[in-house]
Structure 1
Amino acid sequence: MVSRSTGGKETTTRSAFTTQKAGAVNRLTLAPGKDTTVGIGQPLSIVFDRPVRRKADVERQLKVTTSNGTEGSWGWITDHSGRDRVDWRPREYWKPGTRVVLEADLNGTDSGGGWFVRDYRTSFTIGAAQVVKVDLDAKRLSLVRDGRTVRTVPVSGGTPGGDKRSWRGTAVLMAKEGTIRMNSETVGLGDAYDKMVDYSMRLTWSGMYTHAAPWNAAYFGRANRSSGCIGMSTADARSFYDAVRVGDPFEISGGDTKGVVAEGNGYGAWNTPWAKWRAKSALR
């Protein structure tokens, strides 16, 4: 409403206007955490709150710098949650001691599903060269450090022939969760179990862990009789829990499994050949 004086008389003119509705804000979650030290299999992973339809525009704003010129590539995948995700992984496992820095200059960038309203920075360092090898056929798990096997323990994996089988391929240790409640109904297995489990180490979003399983002691090294996880004695689990690091790769083999760990089911990118992984970049 505007008032004017005309010929000594005041008149009032009404006008209306609208402002464009602000676009939706897109936010992201970064892994690993800032200033952490992780294993040689840990990718740099970004999960977006809202769809990313302009992937090339977003990827152009993501700069990865490593302390030793590590060759790597972004790859766009679908997270287990169904959200858009982009991971940066090296061609091969990281070299210990590598320093990795991400500069995501996204402020003002339109993802096609929302605008970014800030920039992001994170960095992390690669720890010791550790690989965990799980042989489901032999029912054993080995910790290999700097190419040398430092310990092997008997285990029991997922029960053959159905939904309780374990996954195979390379999974990356996502988190050391300690003592947690495991309920089979949360992973679609009905009322098979509901118990507190010690020394729990998460390998997939779908619920595969390595953990203490004293109730399965009769099967360690003899038979696979779990509901999909890789169980061992409490003493072995305690020692193993202390030895491994988030980001350590678990190379799992076996003849009767659910299949290969998917790229978005945790960090399954290592199961994709390098040429196919590079092709998942929006800038190739």
Structure 2
Amino acid sequence: MEPEVQPRRPRPIKKILIIAVVCILAAAGGVFAAVAPGLAGGVMESEAGSAVRTSPGIAAPVVAPVTSESAPANGAKQVNPAAPVTLKVNNGTIERVTLTSTGGDTVDGIIDAAGTGWAAAAPLKFNTDYSYTFVVKDGAGRETSTTQSFSTVSSSHEADAAVYPLDGMKVGVGQPLQIIFSEPVLNRDAVEKAIKITSSAGQAGAFHWYSDKMVRYRAQDFWAANSTVTMDMQLFGVDLGNGQIANFNKKVNVSIGDKKVAVADAAAHTFTLSVNDQPVKTLPVSMGDKRFPSARGYGVLMEKNRFDHFRASSIGLKPDDPAYYGDVDVEYTIRLTLSGAYIHQALDSAFPYIGNANVSHGCIGFLPDGAAWVFDNMGTGDVVNIINTEGDYAAHDDGYGDWNIPWAEYDN
């Protein structure tokens, strides 16, 4: 009897196929992590745990992302035009930076030696929108471009100033330096620190604020004869307070002439000029009468005109006033105060009183020859000291009354 033939059982190939597939994938450099049946949960780890694949079959090192810090911040408003514009990057380098205004003006800048920092090399403009584009490169050589924007302080917060004397002027020893700001100054210390004043004679001085807009500077004594005074104002970008930003830098050089100081004596009716402390001329004068006495103390000569026109109404006189003189043409005028005190040639009607009595409205009146001599020999910044008058001091800011303020009070 022949034996019974049993059917052949199929061979178990599943496990073999899975293992083969794993091997094939591994051999091909494939990334794979799986649990193989029957392998007690074993895991095959990916080779990409510390690499970034940039192309099939090629792994590259991990590259840290580039980070940047820029100033001003993106979208910033009312940026001070003097504020630094900077860029700093980490984990990369700066390839190029472009800073332009909406009007097309380009602001130059400098990339540092390491290639990780950039700074604008010029100040910005007021009331201007800027676009700020920078390109950076990471460790893998990939470039990224970023564009930001900001705007600077608007015109409503821009502060200017008028400076006197002007650059290159020659003035007398009594001329203070004066700055009148267009906007109120609250940060006085910041303004004073931004102004450097030097004298070729080595004289130190002090600032004195007459108001929140006007400041003056003088030395303790008159400026040294024939010296030079320099005022270097680095005020661009200085915050005056209330968001008002100064918009200028300016350097002013002033030449000081001979020391010319005159004494006008209301009792003796004389005017004596000394040059470099030596008397050179005494002239007869008529000064302010009892109703309008000349102001006492030091006055500094201001503007002068060969011909001028005076109006009685400018000092408050009306036609029914006995002192009213109407409108008159006057010669050889030199202003002493803003309120209307002058040195000038007296009116013809006053000639008999010159040297004998005081009949003016506070001015110092001369005969024609005397008025012409003073006009030719004295000028802006020279000093007149009025003595023996019943008048009080003029307001210190009614002209340049700085020398009537004691030094201890001026320097505070």
TM-score of Structure 1 vs Structure 2, range by shorter chain: 0.7 to 0.9
Contact 1:262/1:269, CA 8 A, preserved across alignment: no
CA deviations over 1:31-59 (Å, ceiling 9, x no partner): 11211111111111111222112211211
State the match for 2:378 in structure 1: 244
1:19, CA displacement in angstroms? 5.7
State the match for 1:107 in structure 2: 236
TM score, norm. by length of structure 2: 0.60
Larger RCO, structure (CA 8 Å, separation 6 or more): 1
Larger displacement relative to structure 2 (106-115 or 205-214):
106-115
Aligned residue runs from structure 1 range 264-275, under 5 A:
264-275=397-408
Which of residues 306, 309, 318 is equivalent to 1:178?
306
State the match for 2:274 in structure 1: 144
Aligned residue runs from structure 1 range 1-284, under 5 A:
22=154, 23-78=156-211, 84-112=213-241, 114-160=244-290, 162=291, 164-191=292-319, 192-193=324-325, 194-215=327-348, 216-257=350-391, 259-279=392-412
* Runs of 5+ unmatched residues, structure 1: 1-16, 280-284
Q: Secondary structure at the match of 1:235?
A: helix
Q: Distance in 1 between matches of 2:77 and 2:180?
A: 31
Larger displacement relative to structure 2 (17-26 or 199-208):
17-26
Contact 2:286/2:366, CA 8 A, preserved across alignment: yes
Matched residue pairs, number?
Answer: 256
The percentage of counterpart residues that share the same residue type is 33
Contact 2:343/2:363, CA 8 A, preserved across alignment: yes
Q: Distance in 2 between matches of 1:137 and 1:50?
A: 44
Q: Distance in 1 between matches of 2:393 and 2:407?
A: 16
* Runs of 5+ unmatched residues, structure 2: 1-74, 79-152
Contact 1:170/1:261, CA 8 A, preserved across alignment: no
Q: Distance in 1 between matches of 2:398 and 2:164?
A: 14
TM score, norm. by length of structure 1: 0.85
- Aligned residue identity for 1:121: K
1:65, CA displacement in angstroms? 1.3
1:121, CA displacement in angstroms? 1.5
Q: Distance in 2 between matches of 1:84 and 1:222?
A: 44
Q: CA RMSD in A?
A: 1.8
Q: Distance in 1 between matches of 2:347 and 2:312?
A: 17
Contact 2:302/2:379, CA 8 A, preserved across alignment: no
